[in-house]
Chains A and B, each alone.
Chain A
Amino acid sequence: MNKLVTTNITRFILLVLLQVLILSNINFLGFINPYLYVFFILLLPLNLDHWKVLIYSFLIGIVIDVFQDSGGINAAASLVAAYFRPNILKFAFGVSYEFQTIKFYQTPFTQRLTYILLIVFIHHFVLFSFAYFNFTYSLEILKNTLFSGIFTVLLIVISMILFRKRYR
């Protein structure tokens, strides 16, 4: 248990620094940035109590917000993604999630991808809706959600492949 806590704290700090120092400054084609810190929410133990998931997700969101001067948009987006996480887990992994025995890196790739896609796109949609905070910008919200979402999912899949061995 202790090892799990230290791993998650290290992951929290590393992902926040990576996000605010590098990933938020990429500005690919002028506006596309990946939000890799969502990976933290995805990797929280799948059988963790729901209220803990909510609090930890809120925490990483608010820390990112303080760094980026963005009000509460990252906190809100992470929170909404975390709120729907149990439903998405049930949808993506089906029966094996009910038995509470699965680990993130031991699930079939397609099921894992469904889980990642749903969480990332919910997170990004809420994030950009709150960032623009105005429905006259609907097109920008959808455009940003789509492109940044693809970028984030791509980065998550790459980091998954890179770090898979250590966790087995």
Chain B
Amino acid sequence: MQQIINFLIKYKNTLLFLLLLFISLVFTVQSHSYHKSKFINSANSLTGGVYNWANDIDEYFNLKEYNDRLVEENKYLRSRLGELNAKNLDTIYQDTSSFDNPYQFTSAKVIRNQFSNIDNYILVDKGEKDSIHSDLGVITSRGIVGIVEESSRNFSRVISILNTNSSISVQLKNTNHFGSLLWNGKNPNIVQLEEVPRLAPVKKGDTITTDGRSYIFPKGIPVGVVDNFELDVNQSYYKINVRLFNDMTNVGYVYIIDNQNLEELQSLETENNE
């Protein structure tokens, strides 16, 4: 017994070191798997508050850029409105007993954006208070940004598409061939599209959009264009570099998408699997 105590006293620094190192390793491993990092999370009132305060100052320097984006988006929406009005309206009826649009949009402000690490997260200023919860899609007027991973009362942490744990199902706009959107950690403007079958006619400059299979994003949200592509080692799938429409280094304001039909769709899917 005496020897054990002596041992503990002699090596107390090393033992303390190993204990703390173990704790930090657990946190590190957790952060590398999706939905596990509960403790080390910037969506709490202290860190969120600090970033929110800093962002109030920072915001002024980007106002002009955000204004230009809004004008651009308004122009696009106006042109869509014109198309709708030009169609024959008397054949459209409105069913007021249900929402025709299952997707509900919430606007939010990015208060902290990362893009230089290998696993990047974005913090936005809407949380459970505004009925934001995990697994909601996040987009801007130009393209997709990521998926909400964790929410506190006032803030949410979004797992950016610039994160090696992120994987989003997307398709070629013209042909409906789909694949997974991943990131290799190198260039914040280029992401990788994998598992697109060799049969798909891929051309440089083709548009990539979301495919709606995961129910998180509606079908047809723009992602980017094909920058270059090659066949993988097995010669059966394409590896495509996609240039994003979004400037991920300057996101600004985002929309969070809530699919109202999600539970219904998922329950149908589990019934099928059983």
Contact = CB atoms under 8 A, between A and B. Distances in A.
B40 A133 contact: no
Contact of A54 (B17, B31, B157, B185): B17
A31 B50 CA distance: 24
Interface footprint category on A: 20 to 34
Nearest to B12: A51
B107 interface: no
A54 B28 contact: no
A33 B28 contact: no
Interface stretch (A37-45, A60-68, A95-103, A156-164): A60-68
Contact of B31 (A51, A58, A67, A72): A72
A75 B27 contact: yes
Given A27-B116, A65-B40, A68-B42, A76 B24 contact: yes
B32 A65 contact: no
Interface string B117-136: 11101010000000000000
Contacts of B23: 72, 75
A27 B116 CA distance: 7
B157 A69 contact: yes
B114 A17 contact: no
B118 A69 contact: no
Interface in B2-48: 12-14, 16-17, 20-21, 23-32, 37, 40-42, 44, 47
B42 A33 contact: no
A154 interface: no
Nearest to B122: A69
B121 A69 contact: yes
Contacts of A51: 12-13, 16
A66 B42 contact: yes
Contact of A33 (B26, B47, B116): B116
A8 to B, nearest CB: 19
Tell me which of A33, A68, A132 has the highest count of chain B C-beta atoms within 10 A of its own C-beta.
Answer: A68
Contact of A83 (B17, B24, B26): B17
Nearest to A128: B118
Contacts of B47: 66-67
Interface string A62-93: 10011111111101100110010000000000
A62 B118 contact: no
A55 interface: yes
A72 B16 contact: no
A131 interface: yes
A162 B19 CA distance: 37
Interface string A17-40: 100110000010011010000000
Interface in B147-167: 157
Given A33-B116, A67-B47, A58 B24 contact: yes
B231 interface: no
A87 to B, nearest CB: 12
A54 B13 contact: yes
B77 interface: no
A80 B56 CA distance: 36
B16 A65 contact: no
A137 interface: yes
B42 A76 contact: no
Contacts of A72: 23-28, 31, 40
Contacts of A58: 20, 24
B265 interface: no
A88 to B, nearest CB: 15
Given A58-B24, A83-B13, 16 more contacts: A21-B50, A54-B13, A65-B40, A66-B42, A66-B47, A67-B51, A68-B117, A69-B41, A71-B32, A73-B31, A76-B24, A79-B21, A79-B24, A83-B17, A131-B118, A137-B118
24 contacts: A17-B50, A21-B54, A27-B115, A31-B116, A54-B13, A54-B20, A55-B16, A55-B20, A61-B24, A65-B27, A66-B40, A69-B31, A69-B40, A69-B121, A71-B28, A71-B29, A71-B31, A73-B24, A75-B23, A75-B24, A76-B24, A79-B21, A79-B24, A137-B185
